[in-house]
Amino acid sequence: MLDGSAWAAMMGLTQNYMTPFALELKATTSQIGLLSSIPALLTAIAQLVSPNLLERAGTRKGLILPMVFLNALMFIPIMLVPFIFQGDQVWWLLAFITVSTVAGAVINPAWGSMMADLVPMRLRGRFFGNRGVITGFTMLVFSFVASGVLTLFKGTNVFYGFVVLFSAALGFRMLSYLFLSKQYEPARKISKNNSPGMLTLIKQTGSTNLGRFILYIALIDFCVAISGPFFSVYMLRDLHFSYLQFFLVTFASSVAMLACLNYWGKRADAAGNLKVIKITSMLMPIVPVLWLGSTNVIYLMAANVVSGFAWSGYGLSAVNFVYDASEPSIRHKQLAVFNAMDGFAICIGFLLGGFLADKLPVLLGYRLHSIFTLSGCLRAVVVIVLLRRITEVRHVPGIPAWDLLKLNVSKESTLNLFKKPFWKARKSPEEPTE
């Protein structure tokens, strides 16, 4: 919880402000695109290398801690780019952002494997739901703080404002490093037989339950990425929204996601992650199509509330399903395949969406309506074709969808897990995960 809070503060201070920083460095439109696509592509590739790095490190924390330290350290050259480089500043920024992003992402399989061992299966929905609420709220707060800092330093002193942001981000990431270093690491389960290689796991994607689920998530995210970058363009360029109107529409989705995480987490624990995924997947094709209904700010805020409601349950349960369906001895490899395939799918979706955005016909007065509709239709095809081929891996009661939505779930708090003060480390988990 504390590590997540410190990480979220870092993200709130930086993730929405790298593009403005690059624009202050006179980045071109194509360079802005590269600032997103290149780190995303290399991050996907890094996931495939992560299991080998883990084997070399020996323990999960042996990989996590050095990479987190490197992730934090890269904020120093990032903040100094305007002051120490006279030429090619954007390219230097791209290099440092890429190193930082890859270092932060390469730990994901190891971190996910460790957390799956630490958090009992019956509590994963509530635990990660509560953690998501805390991190999401923290990220929002520090994003607001960051916008205030840049407003204060606007004009000729704006780079000093970015120095404040990146320095604070460095501090919070080092605080995250401290909490991770104090976290208990269970002994990693090692397969007695030769574990399958990454290539074998990738080839099995279509033939196993987990593999089909990974393929399902990757294809959904591919469909989402086709339209994802263009909702902001639609509001700011086509509808000429003010920044206040733009903020209100995007804020509605964030608030809805935070408000619904615990709701979905409790229901995933009660009826299984796949049940929640099926319910929320039914909403996925509708979400982009809702944007064709009206250009009114209040209407689009309501559409984004529906989006936040669906994405909160879908995102939470998808990760927990992978934790449930993966094998403890090779979980780090299976998580690496999951992250890599998803990353590649998102990259391809971004590229396809960028190619099609100006070529599709005008629909209901706006060209981007066509790409929203295309994204929704493709999501529907993926849901109809693939979702029925995935089965739940936990023993859970069969609860109809409507009954699950109105289910009165136990209010047992995840915080009850902390029987001792958080600063007193446990010697071992209190119950087995599987």
Where does the pLDDT of residue 219 fall: very low under 50, low under 70, confident under 90, or very high at 90 and above? very high
Stretch 406-429: mean pLDDT, rounded? Answer: 48
CA pair distance 316, 126, nearest whole angstrom: 10
Stretch 77-105: mean pLDDT, rounded? Answer: 90
Where does the pLDDT of residue 30 fall: very low under 50, low under 70, confident under 90, or very high at 90 and above? low
| SS3 sequence of 172-212 | HHHHHHHHHHCCCCCCCCCCCCCCCCHHHHHHHHHCCHHHH
Q: Does 143 score more than 60 pLDDT?
A: yes
pLDDT at 430: 43
Stretch 411-429: mean pLDDT, rounded? Answer: 44
Where does the pLDDT of residue 37 fall: very low under 50, low under 70, confident under 90, or very high at 90 and above? confident
Where does the pLDDT of residue 91 fall: very low under 50, low under 70, confident under 90, or very high at 90 and above? very high
Contact 429, 118 (CB under 8 A): yes
User: In terms of pLDDT, which residue wins out, 197 or 389?
Assistant: 389
User: In terms of pLDDT, which residue wins out, 17 or 387?
Assistant: 387
For residue 205, what are the contacts with CB-CB under 8 A and spacing of at least 6? 211, 212, 214, 215, 337, 341
- How far apart are the two ends of the chain, measured CA to CA in Å? 21
What Å distances lie between residue 11 and 32, 143, 290, CA to CA? 19, 8, 29
CA pair distance 271, 317, nearest whole angstrom: 11
Fold of 200-406: Growth Hormone; Chain: A; (1.20.1250)
- Per-range mean pLDDT, top range of 15-19, 30-34, 145-149: 145-149
User: In terms of pLDDT, which residue wins out, 166 or 201?
Assistant: 166
pLDDT at 413: 44
Stretch 21-45: mean pLDDT, rounded? Answer: 78
Where does the pLDDT of residue 192 fall: very low under 50, low under 70, confident under 90, or very high at 90 and above? low
CA pair distance 12, 24, nearest whole angstrom: 19
- Identical fold for domains 1-186 and 200-406, yes or no, is yes
Handedness of CA 104, 108, 114, 117 (dihedral sign): positive
Contact 11, 146 (CB under 8 A): no
User: In terms of pLDDT, which residue wins out, 335 or 302?
Assistant: 302
Per-residue model confidence as pLDDT tens digits over 354-409: 788 778 898 988 888 999 999 999 999 999 999 999 988 877 777 777 777 776 65
Per-residue model confidence as pLDDT tens digits over 220-234: 999 998 888 788 778
| SS3 sequence of 342-399 | HHHHHHHHHHHHHHHCCCCCCECCECHHHHHHHHHHHHHHHHHHHHHHCCCCCCCCCC
Return the domain boundaries, the chain.
1-186, 200-406
What angle (nearest 5°) sits at the alpha carbon of residue 24, between those of residues 21 and 30? 80
Stretch 307-320: mean pLDDT, rounded? Answer: 91
Please classify residue 320 by burial: count the beta carbons closer than 10 Å to its beta carbon, then call 0-12 exposed, 13-18 middle and 19+ buried.
buried
Stretch 241-254: mean pLDDT, rounded? Answer: 79
Contact 370, 361 (CB under 8 A): yes
CA pair distance 121, 246, nearest whole angstrom: 39
How big is the chain, counted in residues? Answer: 434
User: In terms of pLDDT, which residue wins out, 41 or 189?
Assistant: 41
Phi-psi region of 155 (alpha: psi -120 to 50; beta: other; left: phi over 0): left
Any idea which residue has 């992730």 for tokens?
71
- Which of 20-34, 109-123, 201-215, 375-389 is predicted least confidently? 20-34
pLDDT at 152: 85
Q: Does 36 score more than 90 pLDDT?
A: no
Percent helix, strand and coil across the chain, each rounded to 5?
Answer: 75, 0, 25
Average pLDDT of the residues of the chain: 84
Q: Does 414 score more than 80 pLDDT?
A: no
Fold of 1-186: Growth Hormone; Chain: A; (1.20.1250)
